[in-house]
Amino acid sequence: MLKAISWETILTILGGALLLYYLWWFWNYGRKNRHSQGKPPANIPKRRWRVEEPQEQPDRHATAAANESGLDEVGDGEGRESPDTEQEYERLQGLAADVTIVLQQSGQGSTRKQLLNGLRQEIRRYPTLQHKPAFRRAINRVMAEGAKTWCSMELTDEELNGLWDDAPTS
């Protein structure tokens, strides 16, 4: 006569069937996300290491005063940027690139003091950008995010501002 099947045996069989189902699903569907040539498919967005921040709203009173005086906020008054402003933007891009290189080269193997000294040396190469608050904020964001990404360090605002304060004045 047949022996009664215990609940333990039934649960073991159901668990095995569930495991086989998961293996079958992965074999048929999970492997399709693999890349054949080492690059992701076009439908997967590229990751960015930088977090997008909301843009600041312009001051309405300052904008109204500038419009009444007939001057643009930046530039030569005709809607174009002056050559000096374009050169400053180029310097800003150069500093951002140099800071990024320092952060990548520092990587995991450097101490906080070594990292800050390397960043300070790069900032000293661009003394004309020291007195531009918007440029300082932009470079501080680059340094903070880069230190988090490549060096696994959190740089405080005091440390970042101290880098600029130690730089020589122009």
Asked if residue 92 belongs to a domain, the reply is yes
The number of folded domains in the chain is 1
Asked if residue 141 belongs to a domain, the reply is yes
Helix (H, G, I), strand (E, B) or coil at 38: coil
pLDDT value of position 32: 60
Asked if residue 126 belongs to a domain, the reply is yes
Pick the closest to residue 127 from 151, 153, 100, 95 (CA basis): 95
Asked if residue 53 belongs to a domain, the reply is no
Asked if residue 29 belongs to a domain, the reply is no
Instruction: List average pLDDT for each run of 10 residues in the chain, which is 170 residues long.
Output: 78 92 84 56 55 52 46 46 74 82 78 86 83 84 86 86 66
Query: What is the identity of the amino acid at 40?
Result: P
pLDDT value of position 44: 55
Asked if residue 28 belongs to a domain, the reply is no
Pick the closest to residue 106 from 70, 162, 148 (CA basis): 148
Q: Which domain holds residue 113?
A: 83-165
pLDDT value of position 19: 92
Asked if residue 98 belongs to a domain, the reply is yes
pLDDT value of position 52: 52
Asked if residue 5 belongs to a domain, the reply is no
* b/e sequence 86-115, b meaning 16+ C-beta within 10 Å: eebeebbeebbebbbebbeebeeebeeeeb
